[in-house]
């Protein structure tokens, strides 16, 4: 029997919005989704807006997360933000290894693994992002790339260490391009990701871990993705900047 995994949808606001716009969006998301209990909803604002958005979400069911973190607790690291800083402004979640951190900022597998451990040590719930580039998919390396990234991140950890882990599969070729993996493509990769997690952390953990799909998700594509057995949620980029679109994606779970 397939276990019941509560879907989780995250909105990654990336480097967008002003403070006033972020506060307004936070309020709108709360108004539209706070009473919708069928899906766990998360938002990931830019660092400068975390506290202000967190205040708009206070006492709501919507989780606050950060887009990244630094591996050190403090020190001469200009521009960096530590896990302890994130916790102090109300963050419960954090993205680790987002494709833009990997491919724009150069975060390698070892650094992603270190960030994951720092997040866990601080009590943050991590969303571990993995995914292949277009040329890797075309070369038939999709499964190998995702398995390599998983092995590197989870090496030495046990299932009990990562009980709150969410994995986000982000095909890099589908982020910000308008291209979306078909539900069948997403399911194929998600099933292999779950199998790989089972090999690393045990079948019992793999059956309950939630795996999101991320890559140009829109309201019109969300229901088809949600309909697949191993797609347990969505990580939304541009569409999360409009509360109406984001709410439609979250509610597509029951479509």
Residue 121: predicted pLDDT: 98
pLDDT, residue 1, reads 40
The terminus-to-terminus CA distance of the chain in angstroms comes to: 23
Domain limits, the chain: 8-254
| Cα→Cα distances 20→95, 145, 234, Å | 23, 40, 26
Question: Which of 70, 98, 190, 245 is an active site residue?
Answer: 98
Sort strands 40-44 and 166-169 into parallel, antiparallel or unpaired: unpaired
Close Cβ partners of 205 (under 8 Å, ≥ 6 residues apart): 159, 162, 197, 198
Question: Of 143, 132, 71, 83, whose CA–CA distance to 103 is shortest?
Answer: 132
Is 98 catalytic? The answer is yes
Bridge partners of 169, per DSSP, are: 130, 213
Catalytic residue among 100, 132, 170, 245: 170
Cβ partners under 8 Å of residue 168, min gap 6: 10, 95, 127, 128, 129, 130, 211, 212, 213, 214, 235
Give the closest residue to 38 by CA, choosing from 71, 4, 14. 4
Q: List the chain pLDDT tens, one digit each, 255 residues.
A: 455 799 999 999 999 999 999 999 999 999 999 999 999 999 999 999 999 999 999 999 999 999 999 999 999 999 999 999 999 999 999 999 999 999 999 999 999 999 999 999 999 999 999 999 989 999 999 999 999 999 999 999 999 999 999 999 999 988 877 777 899 999 999 999 999 999 999 999 999 999 999 988 999 999 999 999 999 999 999 999 999 999 999 999 886
pLDDT recorded at residue 203: 97
Give the per-residue pLDDT at 33.
97
State residue 161's pLDDT score: 98
Q: Indicate the pTM of the whole model.
A: 0.96
Active site residue 190: no
| CATH of the domain spanning 8-254 | 3.20.20.70
By the 8 A CB rule, do 16 and 241 touch?
Answer: yes
């Amino acid at each position: 029997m397939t276990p019941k995994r509560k879907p989780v949808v995250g909105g990654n606001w990336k480097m967008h919005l002003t403070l006033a716009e972020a506060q307004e969006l936070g309020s709108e998301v709360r108004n539209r989704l706070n009473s919708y209990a069928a899906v766990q909803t998360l938002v990931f604002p830019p660092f400068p807006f975390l506290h202000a958005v967190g205040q708009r979400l206070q006492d709501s069911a919507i989780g606050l997360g950060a887009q990244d973190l630094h591996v050190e607790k403090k020190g001469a690291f200009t521009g960096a933000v530590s896990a302890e800083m994130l916790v102090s402004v109300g963050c419960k979640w954090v993205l680790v290894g987002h494709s833009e951190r990997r491919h724009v900022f150069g975060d390698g597998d070892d650094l992603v693994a270190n960030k994951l451990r720092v997040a866990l040590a601080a009590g943050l719930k991590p969303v571990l992002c993995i995914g292949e580039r277009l040329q890797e998919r075309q070369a038939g390396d999709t499964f190998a790339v995702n398995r390599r990234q998983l092995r590197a991140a989870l090496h030495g950890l046990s299932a009990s260490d990562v009980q709150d882990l969410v994995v986000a599969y982000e095909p890099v070729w589908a982020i910000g391009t308008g291209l979306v993996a078909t539900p069948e493509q997403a399911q194929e990769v998600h099933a292999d990701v779950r199998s790989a997690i089972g090999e690393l952390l045990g079948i019992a953990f793999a059956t309950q871990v939630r795996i999101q799909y991320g890559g140009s998700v829109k309201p019109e594509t969300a229901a088809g993705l949600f309909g697949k057995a191993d797609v347990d949620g969505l990580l939304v980029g541009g569409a999360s900047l409009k509360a109406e679109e984001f709410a439609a994606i979250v509610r597509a779970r029951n479509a």
